[in-house]
Amino acid sequence: MLIQLSDEGVQFPENSGIHTAEEAAAHAVVHITKPGTYALTGTLSAGQIAVDLGENATDDPTAAVVLILDNAEVICRVAPAVIFYNVYECGQPDAAAGAAVLLADGSNNRIVGSHVAKIYKPGTDEKLHKYDGAFYSRMSMKLDGAGKLRIEADNEGLDSEMHLTIDGGEIYIESGNDGIN
């Protein structure tokens, strides 16, 4: 499926706790909720690509999303510009990751993202979430292809909570903290 990015969105992210409600409301979210291959092209100058196949996806090998970046630019000033929440978690060295990113041949792609501070359950010290990277995955992620990817981040650049595999592409990261985490 081809997703032509534009500055028109249908939903907005919640306030992250470090940005004003007005800043958050100015960013659109493109939700991907079904497995498949999605080609992203064009510019989203105030928004996020959010992949979430549901809480049961982590154990389902068919719950996989491939994002093909083909001259795509995603800029999000209040959260990660691209985030994988729930997809298949392979857990095996030879299994395919449920979060895959392919840099199209000869493409130039740019991801500019922010982080979301630690959000705690009300009245506890239990962390609900903290998303540090401009390009972030809660599951294992694979990045491949023959294109270029430039990541600009106020905190972490390319960030995965599980395994991160880079098999190809030219990746340039400018970050306020770790380039790859």
Ranges under pLDDT 50 in the chain: 8-17
Q: Which pLDDT does position 118 carry in this prediction?
A: 66
Digit-coded pLDDT (tens) for 93-139? 667 889 999 999 999 999 999 988 666 667 777 766 788 899 999 99
The three state secondary structure string of the chain is: CEEEECCCCCCCCCCCCCCCHHHHHCCEEEEECCCEEEEEEEEECCEEEEEECCHHHHHCCCCCEEEEEEEEEEECCCCCCEEEEECCCCCCCCCCCCEEEEECCCCEEEEEECCEEEEECCCCCCEEEEECEEEEECCCEEEEECCEEEEEECCEEEEECCCEEECCCEEEEEECCCCEC
Q: Which pLDDT does position 160 carry in this prediction?
A: 93
Q: Which pLDDT does position 13 carry in this prediction?
A: 40
Q: Which pLDDT does position 27 carry in this prediction?
A: 77
